[in-house]
Amino acid sequence: MVLERLRQFRQRQTQQDDYIVALDIGTEFVKALIAKMEGEEISVVGVGRKRQRLSDMHSGAIADIAAVVQNCEAALSQAEDQAGLQARRAVIGIAGELVKGITHTIKYRRPQPERPLDAAEMEFIIEKVQERAQRKAQQQIAVETGNDEVEVKLVNSALVSIHIDGYKVSNPMSFQGKEVVVQIYTAFAPMVHIGALERVADELALELVAVAAEPFAVSRSVLGADAGSSFTAILVDVGGGTTDIAVVNDGGVEGTRMFGIGGRSFTRTIAAQLDLSYEDAEKIKVNLEDRPIRQDYKRGAQKAIANTIDVWLSGVELALAEFDSVDHLPGRILLCGGGASLPQVVRALETSSWRRDLPFTKKPSVQHIAAKDVLGIRDTTGSADDHTFITAMGLLRVGYDTVATLGEGGSMKDRINRMLKI
């Protein structure tokens, strides 16, 4: 068994600690990146990609573990061949409608306001926020699945803001005050989905250092290491099975939402409209504006895409409407993911009236996330320089953040990050 020999070989290898693997296990493709971590710089040295079968994934979640393992192995082997090395530590993305990410706010009245705030008290406050967030996520997933016994697990947390007596601080330590208001973004997912990813990592003989909600990973790609970032945007990752949305305001993740319409929905609609196989419909979709196509097929495909666009825009509108705590939505929309390659997606966001009932102060600009927008990550291969690899780039950032906070000591931000289990 070739796969088993490769696993055994990888296990025998003595790996350097300054390399990390990102696995973006998407509905349509598995993407693998190997990167070297040098100080605050992350350099991509290996890139791999493998198409998934229709039955391998369902709405962003793994449906066939064995098949996904094989696809991951193929993508990882490509990356390893290009990099000329193997890495053990890995971060894997998680997506799907049952991944719940939201920013929670808690107001904490301190029993001893004259006492300087310390790490123990901050940890207590953060645990309270996370407990509240977990209860809400559990309730949401129970309603959507009809299973009151569903078990959920924290995937990611990130500090959005801290105010002490109405005054915003970046480092709360040693401050006095009566009231601490903490905003923390948290993402939870069902254990069954996380367990599947852990199984994939185990089969590949990878040390799983983090699982990251994919819209959170996208936000980390454009925020980088700048703790004082004022970055503000709506991030939309259009994958094969889902669309993932993150709203970022002044460098903080306000929340994430996902819904089950992606690139495959467009293909299936074309296939049904023209009575074609999925494979033939996919060829028509990706070549619709670049190559000559039979006029009847072209008209049918355009109609099918237009119908799906309408449904997709409704999903975007509903997702953004859930951000009811946001006074105004950001004035720019940044796209990534394979589904965002459809020109009709960009045009619809720019020209449609979908946003009329949402709290935009102006017509939002729409563009793809470019490689230059990814902070602190350099692609030395030239193979991961388009918007379809942004999520994988973000996973590298999450992996870097995780590894950086595992060591002893560090800054207060590092210690808070460890409390948050990033």
Tell me the per-residue pLDDT of 274-322, one tens digit each, with 9 for 90 and over: 999 999 999 999 888 877 888 889 999 999 999 999 999 999 999 999 9
Structural contact between residues 193 and 82, judged by C-beta atoms closer than 8 angstroms: no
The top-level CATH class assigned to 259-368 is alpha beta
Residue range(s) of every CATH 3.30.420.40 domain in the chain = 2-96+193-226+371-406, 259-368
224 Cβ contact list (under 8 Å, min separation 6): 374, 375, 376, 397
87/77 Cα distance (integer angstroms): 11
Please, what is the average pLDDT of the chain? 88
- For the stretch 154-190, pLDDT in tens is 888 888 888 999 998 878 888 999 999 988 888 889 8
pTM of the model: 0.87
Instruction: Of 128, 183, 187, 126, give the one whose Cα is nearest residue 155.
Output: 187
Instruction: Tell which wins on pLDDT, 420 or 236.
Output: 236
How far apart are alpha carbons 401 and 291 in whole angstroms? 43
- Out of 218-232, 352-366, 376-390, pick the least confident: 218-232
pLDDT band at 402, cuts 50/70/90? confident
DSSP state of 363: P
Digit-coded pLDDT (tens) for 99-137: 888 888 888 999 999 999 988 888 888 888 888 888 888
Residue 347, helix vs strand vs coil: helix
Please tell me the distance from the alpha carbon of residue 384 to that of residue 379, in angstroms, as a whole number: 6
Closest CA to 17 of 30, 32, 33, 35: 35
Query: What's the rounded Cα separation, in Å, for the pair 134 and 100?
Result: 10
- What does the angle CA 298 – CA 344 – CA 384 come to, to the nearest 5 degrees? 110
Tell me how long the chain is.
422
Domain covering 2-96+193-226+371-406 in this structure, CATH number? 3.30.420.40
Q: Is the pLDDT confidence value at 217 over 60?
A: yes
What mean pLDDT is predicted for residues 80-102?
91
